Amino acid sequence: MIAVSTVGPEAAEEVHRLTQAAFAGYDVLTPPSGALAETVDVVREHLTAQPGAVAYLDGVPVGAARLIEQEGHLHVRRVAVDPAYQGRGVCSALVRHVEDAARAAGRTELRCGVRDQLPGNRALFEHLGYTAVAQHDVWTELTKRL
């Protein structure tokens, strides 16, 4: 069973580890994912500004996500699932958790950005009810009404 907990800066090392594991293959993207250059200190800053989430499968941390305020919108970003646990519903559980947190904070919308070079990621967010609202250089911005 997947359990998801809200986390703050105390979880920065775990969130960083999970993000690096999940994004490791994204060094081939053009340009490479910025997640790969992040440090634990950057993750800690993000988690201090906005809480994030860690997903556990049988008590083992297997995924993480962060919320960030960008351009007047709350974004879910750096959704990361350890490659060994992908395809088990971890991402969906993380996204549902951050949507609930956004609703509890009085938000009516949540956004995310998906690299155009990763159509499977976009398809997953569309399956979760997100729709495209803007096209940027190498990524598409999606939104969901909460």
DSSP string covering the chain: -EEEEEE-GGGHHHHHHHHHHHHGGGGGSSSPPGGGG--HHHHHHHHHHS-EEEEEETTEEEEEEEEEEETTEEEEEEEEE-GGGTTSSHHHHHHHHHHHHHHHTT-SEEEEEEETT-HHHHHHHHHTT-EEEEE-SSEEEEEEE-
Sequential pLDDT tens for the chain (146 residues): 999 999 999 999 999 999 999 999 898 898 988 899 999 999 999 999 999 999 999 999 999 999 998 888 899 999 999 999 999 999 999 999 999 999 999 999 999 999 999 999 999 999 999 999 999 999 999 999 99
User: With a threshold of 0.75, does the pTM exceed it?
Assistant: yes
Fold of 2-145: Aminopeptidase (3.40.630)
The domain segmentation of the chain, as residue ranges, is 2-145
